Structure 1
Amino acid sequence: MPEKADRVQDQLVAFLPNLRRFAIALCRSRDMADDLVQRACERALANEQSFEPGTRFDAWMFKILRNLWIDDIRKRKVAGPQDDIDERHDIAGVSGEREMEARLALNSVAQAIGELAADQRDVLLLVCVEELSYRQAAEVLAVPIGTVMSRLARARKNLAEATGISSAPTRSPVTKGAAK
């Protein structure tokens, strides 16, 4: 059994940056995300016997983290609102016109992602940011693949509308022909 525990622990350490990134996207607060990641790690280590070797460790961890996040949301309905990362004024920014334009565009996209319905946001983050396959995202979210596909399509459409970015393919017909 120590072999299996070592493998879970090793995978967990290597996977921490991905887990933290997903947690920050869910929480929109670095402090809350760090707490969420810590609790997800504790839960994973306490339940490492339930991890099946040969299966996707990332999907297993994303599911643990997401379930904890859902529990937190339910608890916060009673506790009230929490601090938002956008309200942090002590975070230093980079100066310069290009950097400021990029930051404004990023904030616009982040705000638009934040305004998506939770089911659309979760699918968008898992598939587009964490690069899970549709099947893996479906497993994490416990929904059919078709539901993942339709939620992702709606999320992309709503995101494009909210940011003013076209959702049309970016490759031109000339590029397509040249690639053949």
Structure 2
Amino acid sequence: MGPEDTLPHIPRLRRYARLLTGDASRADDLVQDTLERACHKWPLWKPRPDGSGLRAWLLSLMHNLHLNQVRDQVHERDTVELEERHEPSHDPLARVPERLDLEHALAELSPVLRETVLLVCVEELSYTEAAQVLGVPVGTVMSRLSRGREQLRRLTSGEPPTAVTPRLKIVA
């Protein structure tokens, strides 16, 4: 096996990258960076006895690259958000068409929930494979998936978001 075995996985990598980034050109850059890293790190990949696992390894590489890119843009994004604050809309029907669009609903999810939903629901990874890709326990994947699906349901049905209240009691 060699790096040329990654070629059949490119369409799935592109789809996952597009959903992660929300932009076609950034997604293509992410796929290219992932494949480049896979070529450089090829000796580190350990195939399973049945020969599988390459897709999960590539998705893990992509996930880690995406996290690195997001971390690099944190300061830049904070500055832009301060400059572009908008008045909240008081018309509850103003965003209904936008909420019905699944892509916009996915963009509303936090990155950890969105990545989990995409890996399990779109890429059809098992909970165990998704946990390996994300580097978290299987129970965390199940919890994130449940919360992500519930938020998607609320966003696409037009329900108002529920405020999360802390469950910790402050003791003096």
TM band (smaller chain): 0.7 to 0.9
Shift of 1:112: 0.9
Q: How many equivalent pairs are there?
A: 138
Q: Deviations over 1:20-74 (max 9, x none)?
A: 0000011101001101100100000111111112241111000101111111111
Identify the residue that residue 73 of structure 1 maps to in structure 2. 70
Q: Aligned-residue CA RMSD in angstroms?
A: 2.0
Aligned counterparts, 1:80-99, within 5 A = 80=77
Q: Which has the higher contact order (CA 8 A, sep 6+)?
A: 2
Identify the residue that residue 44 of structure 1 maps to in structure 2. 38
Give the whole-Å Cα distance in 1 for the aligned partners of 2:109 and 2:138.
Answer: 20
Report sequence identity in percent: 39
Question: What is the TM-score with the length of structure 2 in the denominator?
Answer: 0.74
DSSP-derived class of the 1:75 partner: helix
Identify the residue that residue 141 of structure 1 maps to in structure 2. 134
Greater helix fraction, Structure 1 or Structure 2:
1
Give the whole-Å Cα distance in 1 for the aligned partners of 2:122 and 2:114.
Answer: 11
Identify the residue that residue 153 of structure 2 maps to in structure 1. 160
Identify the residue that residue 55 of structure 2 maps to in structure 1. 58
The code of the aligned residue for 2:30 comes to L
Structure 2: where are the runs of 5+ without partners? 79-96, 159-172
Aligned in 2, Cα 1:106/1:51: closer, same or farther, shift over 3 Å? farther
Aligned in 2, Cα 1:142/1:126: closer, same or farther, shift over 3 Å? same
Shift of 1:107: 6.3
Give the whole-Å Cα distance in 2 for the aligned partners of 1:163 and 1:78.
Answer: 31
Shift of 1:143: 0.7
Identify the residue that residue 89 of structure 1 maps to in structure 2. none
Shift of 1:78: 3.6
DSSP-derived class of the 2:101 partner: helix
Give the whole-Å Cα distance in 1 for the aligned partners of 2:146 and 2:26.
Answer: 29
Shift of 1:137: 0.2
Give the whole-Å Cα distance in 2 for the aligned partners of 1:164 and 1:80.
Answer: 29
Q: 1:150 aligns with which of 143, 147, 163?
A: 143
Q: Deviations over 1:62-95 (max 9, x none)?
A: 01011111111111124448xxxxxxxxxxxxxx
Question: What is the TM-score with the length of structure 1 in the denominator?
Answer: 0.71
Aligned in 2, Cα 1:106/1:158: closer, same or farther, shift over 3 Å? closer
Shift of 1:106: 9.2
Matched, 1:28 2:22: yes
